[in-house]
Amino acid sequence: MIYADNAATTKLDSEAFEAMVPWLLDEYGNASQPYAFARKPKKALAEARAIIAECINALPEEIFFTSGGTESDNWAIKGSAFADAEKRATITSAFEHHAVLHSCEAIERLGYPVSYLMPTADGVITADALGGMISNTTRLVSVMFANNEIGTIQPIKELCDVAHSHGALFHSDAVQAVGHVKIDVQELGVDMLSASAHKFNGPKGIGFLYIRKGTKIMPYADGGAQESQYRSGTENIASIVGMVIALKENCTNLERNKALLQSLEHKLLEDLSTSHIQFVRNGGNHTIPGLISLSFSGADGEAILHRMDLMGISISTGSACNSVNTKISHVLKAIKLDETLAKGTIRISFGKNNTEDDVCAIATALVKIACTF
The least distance separating ligand PLP from the CB of residue 319, rounded to whole angstroms, comes to 6
Whether the CB-CB separation of 198 and 68 falls below 8 Å is answered with yes
Q: Which of 3, 31, 49, 70 binds ligand PLP (CB under 6 A)?
A: 70
The enclosing H or E element of 18 equals helix 14-25
Q: Which range of residues in 17-25, 64-72, 130-138, 239-247 is near ligand PLP by CB under 6 A?
A: 64-72
Whether the CB-CB separation of 204 and 11 falls below 8 Å is answered with no
Lay out the site mask for ligand PLP across 142-161 (x = CB under 6 A, - = otherwise): --x---x-------------
The 10 Å CB-count burial string (b at 16+, else e) for 112-132 is: bebbebebeeebbbbeebbee
Residues 271, 200: Cα–Cα separation, whole Å = 27
User: Comparing C-alpha atoms, which of 62, 3, 17 is closest to residue 242?
Assistant: 17
The 10 Å CB-count burial string (b at 16+, else e) for 5-26 is: bbbbbbebbeebbebbeebeee
Spacing of C-alpha 101 from chain mean position: 14
DSSP string, 117-175: EPPPTTS---HHHHHHH--TTEEEEE--SB-TTT-BBP-HHHHHHHHHHTT-EEEEE-T
Lay out the site mask for ligand PLP across 91-120 (x = CB under 6 A, - = otherwise): ------x-x---------------------
By the rule CB under 6 A, 5 interacts with ligand PLP: no
Under rule CB under 6 A, how many of the chain's residues touch ligand PLP?
15
Quick one: 245 or 299, whose CB is closer to ligand PLP?
245
With CB atoms as reference, the residue minimizing the distance to ligand PLP is 69
Euclidean distance between the first and final Cα of the chain, in Å?
24
Neighbours of 213 (CB within 10 A): 9
Q: Which range of residues in 51-59, 63-71, 77-85, 118-126 is near ligand PLP by CB under 6 A?
A: 63-71
Q: Which range of residues in 30-38, 69-77, 251-259, 364-372 is near ligand PLP by CB under 6 A?
A: 69-77
Q: Which range of residues in 56-64, 170-178, 244-252, 356-364 is near ligand PLP by CB under 6 A?
A: 170-178
Cα 257 to Cα 196, 296, 314, 355, distances in angstroms:
18, 28, 21, 12
Neighbours of 212 (CB within 10 A): 18
Neighbours of 221 (CB within 10 A): 16
Quick one: 48 or 365, whose CB is closer to ligand PLP?
48
By the rule CB under 6 A, 69 interacts with ligand PLP: yes
Q: What's the length of the chain?
A: 373
Catalytic residue among 55, 321, 360, 371: 321
By the rule CB under 6 A, 290 interacts with ligand PLP: no
By the rule CB under 6 A, 175 interacts with ligand PLP: yes
Residues 198-227 that bind ligand PLP (CB under 6 A): 207
Residues 224-283 that bind ligand PLP (CB under 6 A): none
Quick one: 41 or 68, whose CB is closer to ligand PLP?
68
By the rule CB under 6 A, 181 interacts with ligand PLP: no
Residue 371: active-site member:
no
Q: Which range of residues in 104-112, 124-132, 172-180, 292-300 is near ligand PLP by CB under 6 A?
A: 172-180
The least distance separating ligand PLP from the CB of residue 330, rounded to whole angstroms, comes to 13
The pairing of beta strand 280-282 with beta strand 89-93 = unpaired
The least distance separating ligand PLP from the CB of residue 242, rounded to whole angstroms, comes to 14
Q: Which of 196, 250, 282, 329 binds ligand PLP (CB under 6 A)?
A: 196
For ligand PLP, the binding residues (CB under 6 A) are 68-70, 73, 97, 99, 144, 148, 173, 175-176, 196, 207, 319-320
Catalytic residues, by residue number, are 321
